[in-house]
Amino acid sequence: MMKKLLYLVHRLPYPPNKGDKISSNNMLNYFSARWRVHLGTFVDDPEDWQYVDLVSSKCEDCCIVNLPGWRRLTGSFSGLVTGQALSLSYYGNRELQDWVRTTIEHECPDAVLVFSGVMGRFVRDLLPAHVPVIFDAEDVDSEKWRSYGDSARWPLSWLYRREADKLLAYERKMAASTSVTLFVSEEEADLFKTLAPESADKTHFRTQGVDSVYFDPSVELDNPYEEGQRVLVFTGAMDYRPNIEAVTWFCDNVFNTIREKEPSFLFCIVGMKPTDEVRQLDNIPGVRVTGGVPDVRPYLSHALAACLPLQLARGIQNKALEAMAMSLPVLATDDALVGIIDHPGVLSHVANSADEMSRLALTILSRPRQANTAGRACVQEHYNWDTNLKRMESFLLREEDVH
């Protein structure tokens, strides 16, 4: 008989159109084929309600709760009053809590997978000691907020540092109270071990995956660019602060130098929900902001390189792996490539200053597109979802289940 898995994830694991949903969707696909999944999650984007039936069809049971945008304000106020991290207050929900409690009492799950730390609150003190619990933190979220605090002005700097301190305390409690804490890269795991040494012996890492059948450079796709354009492309959710900072930094510090020497240069920003700040970049001649697109592959297929000038990055970047799967060279900062295996021959051009990025970009733009075949080979060898999730599953199986 298939075992029961209680799977808690902070937003509906479909569609796989941003980093965390790529991970959570692949986890759902993997485990629903092998376990009876009881899914508890939120819908924080009204457009995602159309996918609820699809997600539900993969599960034994679901509790899918609406999380309206106004909760950010009320949750933040509640967090300040109660002394909690604002992120935790935002996700507090009685309906989901009651469903989790009932599911644990009536279904007696064999294991629990908590995807994103904020969901751990729902199982605290409810599970028998013998039930394995994975806390998949993805990255050290508290450090992201600390980085925001270091670069912001008061009072935001105070608010961000407060969030960092509160979240770190919560992350440490989660790690101490669960069987295993997983991060998306060895670097993130090592960082957390220094922040939570009491849980170092049960802190591990997993690896991202890429669907290299879908991201296949041999598939012929229509060119979305104008004839003669020499394109560097950035992909990612454009309401996410590190992505916003990356493209604005590039346009402010690098773009003009390249455009002056290569008038056919196009910097194409592809991603859902661009903020007003990002949309304004579309007014710059030679910059294109697409908004959400049904398929990102044509934009990768017909560019000369993926340009990933991230100034702040946590974990492994899906955008880098997807470009590599499409045999696309990558021009990036060190931060954008953290956690990706150093595979021989991969065409990754690293630039951490505006001058260096301009120089390398002009070199890429001056020649025909190079096929990053080693990049695709790296993805196929090291970033297969089923292989990586099988290792994750081993943490959910008790020793007697393995033998």
pLDDT single digits (tens) 26-71: 999 999 999 999 999 999 999 999 999 999 999 999 999 999 876 5
Tens of pLDDT, residues 147-182:
888 888 898 899 899 989 999 999 999 999 999 999
| pLDDT, position 390 | 92
Over residues 390-398, mean pLDDT:
87
Mean pLDDT of the chain: 92
Which segment, 65-69, 364-368, 382-386, is predicted with the most confidence on average? Answer: 364-368
| pLDDT, position 185 | 86
| pLDDT, position 71 | 58
More confident residue, 403 or 227: 227
Over 90: is that where the pLDDT of 363 sits?
yes
Dist. CA 330–CA 347, nearest whole Å: 6
> What does the radius of gyration of the chain's CA atoms come to, in whole angstroms?
22
Cβ 304 vs Cβ 283: under 8 Å: no
Give alpha helix (H) positions in 180-269.
Answer: 186-195, 241-253, 255-261
| pLDDT, position 60 | 97
The pair phi, psi for residue 231, each rounded to 5°, is -115, 135
| pLDDT, position 286 | 98
Over 60: is that where the pLDDT of 75 sits?
no
Over 60: is that where the pLDDT of 400 sits?
no
Dist. CA 196–CA 393, nearest whole Å: 24
| pLDDT, position 208 | 87
Of 359, 334, 325, 329, the C-alpha closest to 345 is 329
| pLDDT, position 72 | 60
pLDDT range class, residue 74, cuts 50, 70, 90: low
Dist. CA 267–CA 309, nearest whole Å: 12
Burial label for 106, CB within 10 Å (0-12, 13-18, 19+), is: exposed
Buried b (16+ CB within 10 A) or exposed e, 220-248: eeeebbeeebbbbbbbbbbebebbbbbbb
Extended strands (E) in 15-168: 36-43, 61-66, 111-115, 133-138
More confident residue, 68 or 366: 366
| pLDDT, position 393 | 94
The pair phi, psi for residue 287, each rounded to 5°, is -120, 135
Tell me 288's DSSP state. E
Dist. CA 268–CA 295, nearest whole Å: 14
> Where is 330: in which H helix or E strand?
strand 330-332
Q: What percent of the chain has pLDDT over 90?
A: 76
CB atoms within 10 A of CB 298: 18
Cβ 267 vs Cβ 234: under 8 Å: yes
Extended strands (E) in 104-209: 111-115, 133-138, 180-183, 203-205
What tokens does 176 get? 């101490």
Q: What percent of the chain has pLDDT over 70?
A: 95
| pLDDT, position 19 | 84
Over 60: is that where the pLDDT of 76 sits?
no
pLDDT range class, residue 242, cuts 50, 70, 90: very high
The pair phi, psi for residue 174, each rounded to 5°, is -60, -50
- In one-letter notation, the amino acid at residue 142 is S
Helices 19-32 and 385-396, axial angle in degrees (round to 10): 70
| Residue 216: half-sphere exposure toward Cβ, Cα within 13 Å | 5
Over 50: is that where the pLDDT of 399 sits?
no
Dist. CA 44–CA 68, nearest whole Å: 6
Dist. CA 367–CA 33, nearest whole Å: 46
CB atoms within 10 A of CB 103: 22
Tens of pLDDT, residues 244-297:
999 999 999 999 999 999 999 999 999 999 999 999 999 999 999 999 999 999
What tokens does 393 get? 């599953």
Domains of the chain and any CATH numbers: 4-209+384-402 (3.40.50.2000), 230-382 (3.40.50.2000)
| pLDDT, position 403 | 35
Over residues 372-379, mean pLDDT:
96
